[in-house]
Homo-oligomer: A and B are copies of this chain.
Amino acid sequence: MHLSVSLRILGILLMLFSSTLLLPLVIAVLEDDNTITGFLTALSITFISGLACWLPVRNARHELRIRDGFLITSLFWTVLGVFGALPLALTDALNLTPAEAIFESISGLTTTGATVISGLDALPQSILFYRQLLQWLGGIGIIVVAVAVLPMLGIGGMQLYKAETPGPSKDNKLTPRITETAKALFVVYLALTVCCALAYWAAGMSGFDAVCHAFSTVAIGGFSTHDASMGYFESNTILLICSLFMVVSAVNFGLHFTVWRARTAKAYRRDSETRFFLSALLVCIAVTCSYLILTDTLAPTDAVVHGLFQAISISTTTGFTTQDFAGWPGFLPVMLLIFAFMGGCVGSTGGGMKAMRVMLVFKQAVRELKQLIHPHAIIPLKVGKRRVEASVVSAVWSFFAVYMLAFVTIMLALMATGLDFTTSFSAVAASLNNLGPGLGQVAANYSGISELAKAILCFAMLLGRLEVFTLLVLFTPMFWRL
């Protein structure tokens, strides 16, 4: 283990992160809203901590190896999650305990979007902007990690994407590849954010709200500057724009980059995962809208617009709301939560187990049915025209099993803190899948649950965002040997 290199990178990340605090600080100064001290203090502490990490090891230049990838990726969300809580903890208007501030910060950076804050509309603009910024930074973080780092670590079948990553180098050296890839992906991410903000603004949002919501839309984050979330704007146009950008952001950004470079949308049509994802999404939307109409829950037009919006928002794990969807009749709320277990595509900002994995599980189950009927046939498992290697399949299966095991364990732990079954089930589904809103006591807000429950959910959010295995390997003694 070259801990020195990991420490150097962590130091750089902290210093970079502290510099992003300049943006909300500018707003704080312009609005003069009593948050200036908080942001300045947070910026200084974060920068100095970063410097303290970096200075002693600034000359460490070992090549990064696979094992360092697990550590740095895990540190990115845990350490930045804690430092990101500083501006929130230091703002008196919020009145948060340290645990609550960390919950809110981790929920932002992991693009979960579960909140312990109510009364958003009355908060200083600098704080509101900062929450959205956390999601946006978390979003680009996960894209870069998913496209550039995870395929090399081989998490849950991600080695499938090893050869497809944009950027020149195909070897095992992490540094040049990550830098190249990160740049390309950042440009796509930024372009999408700008388009989204312009569309919101044209549809009637204020400039501030347009930028803030573009941040949390493209990051599939779900934070809003209003308690009523997207319902605040009372505009079907905005809901449709939001729906479009949520779907686009739930597609592999590596694919977006390919399409952008090739100037043709052919790559979308050729990509099995995207096709599978869109088909599942269509089913989810169709069921939601029809059931809302059949049960007379909403008028037909509203049922279509709100059904479409809410189905996309929950199943892509964004978590924006317009209606009290937790109160929708019958199986709808739980069905939407179940779709959130799939979430977005690999290499998107979406949470969940990812469409590629669900697709492979599904294909494998169909293959098994065929195998039972024709026991002597040799039936290969294919994605598109490519045969999937056994190691990829078994990695996907293990991912699926560990995900379920983590879900059940965390749910039982939550119930041990005293929460009821519906609340625990949905809270874990909402945090492990990086979705945000749950059902029961956590339908709107997580402030009502105990500090211990919040800490458990922080762990669930990190576990989900780090694709479970990235964090789990750190808990094995084997990882630290040598």
Contacts and interface: CB of A to CB of B under 8 A. Distances in A.
A153, A369, A395 — most chain B CB neighbours (10 Å): A369
Interface stretch (A247-255, A314-322, A403-411): A403-411
Contacts of A371: 154, 391, 395
A398 interface: yes
A415 B472 CA distance: 35
Chain A contact surface mostly: helix
A408 B338 contact: yes
A431 B390 CA distance: 34
A288 B412 CA distance: 13
Nearest to A364: B398
A401 interface: yes
A335 interface: yes
B408 A479 contact: no
A361, A391, A399 — most chain B CB neighbours (10 Å): A361
Interface in A347-365: 361-362, 364-365
A153 B372 CA distance: 7
Interface stretch (A119-127, A187-195, A231-239, A418-426): A418-426
A370 interface: yes
Contact of A368 (B364, B390, B398): B398
B373 A334 contact: no
Contacts of A390: 390
Given A67-B373, A334-B415, A416-B330, A469 B402 contact: no
Given A365-B398, A375-B66, A331 B422 contact: no
A276 interface: no
Given A153-B372, A369-B472, A364 B415 contact: no
A473 B361 CA distance: 17
Interface string A88-114: 000000000000000000000000000
A231 to B, nearest CB: 24
Contact of A416 (B331, B399, B401, B402): B331
B154 A401 contact: no
A415 to B, nearest CB: 4
Interface string A435-467: 000010000000000000000000000000000
A412 B375 contact: no
A334 B413 CA distance: 11
A155 interface: yes
Q: How many copies does the complex hold?
A: 2
Interface string A387-399: 0001101110111
B154 A375 contact: yes
Given A154-B372, A372-B153, A425-B421, A401 B330 contact: no
A401 B398 contact: no
A345 to B, nearest CB: 19
A373 B70 CA distance: 9
Closest 4 CB pairs of A and B: A331-B415, A368-B398, A397-B397, A331-B412
Interface of A: 66-67, 70, 153-155, 330-331, 334-335, 338, 361-362, 364-365, 367-373, 375, 390-391, 393-395, 397-402, 404-405, 408, 411-413, 415-416, 418, 421-422, 425, 439, 469, 472-473, 476, 478-479
8 contacts: A67-B373, A153-B372, A154-B372, A331-B412, A334-B415, A368-B395, A369-B478, A397-B401
Given A331-B416, A365-B398, A365-B401, 19 more contacts: A67-B373, A70-B372, A153-B372, A154-B375, A330-B418, A331-B415, A365-B402, A365-B405, A368-B394, A368-B398, A368-B469, A369-B469, A372-B469, A372-B473, A373-B476, A373-B479, A393-B394, A421-B422, A421-B425
